[in-house]
């Protein structure tokens, strides 16, 4: 939460649609026992699967409440 994440984005475990559809689910819903948390920033938190193995994979859980570099704000036509 010190990086600007809301409690709901981290811990919410109920949503309007069945898991994993929709953006109603928090980070805890995506972390299993064999995964670790990596880097924590304002824009994303890394979930590392297979840490300590030869080929770990990393998933970035993005924060939709802050601007992301690949999203461009579109101004409406006047």
The answer to whether residue 68 is domain-embedded is no
pLDDT on residue 14: 79
Based on the structure, what is the number of domains in the chain?
1
Buried b (16+ CB within 10 A) or exposed e, 31-61: beeebeeeeeeeebbebbeeeeeeeeeeeeb
Q: Averaged over 59-66, what is the pLDDT?
A: 88
pLDDT on residue 40: 94
H-run or E-run covering 35: strand 35-40
**Residue 22 belongs to domain spanning:** 7-62
Q: What pTM does this model have?
A: 0.74
The answer to whether residue 70 is domain-embedded is no
Q: Which of 28, 29, 7 is nearest to 18 (CA)?
A: 29
Binned at pLDDT 50, 70 and 90, residue 47 comes out as: very high
pLDDT on residue 19: 67
Task: Give the whole-number percent of the chain exceeding pLDDT 70.
Answer: 94
pLDDT on residue 34: 83
pLDDT over 80 at 78, yes or no: no
């Amino acid at each position: 939460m010190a990086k600007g994440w809301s409690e709901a984005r981290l811990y919410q475990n109920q949503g309007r649609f069945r898991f994993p559809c929709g953006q109603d689910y928090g980070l805890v819903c995506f972390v299993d026992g064999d995964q670790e948390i990596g880097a924590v920033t304002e824009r994303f938190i890394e979930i590392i699967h297979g840490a300590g193995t030869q080929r770990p994979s990393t998933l970035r859980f993005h924060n939709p409440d802050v601007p992301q570099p690949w999203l461009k704000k579109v101004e409406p036509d006047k």
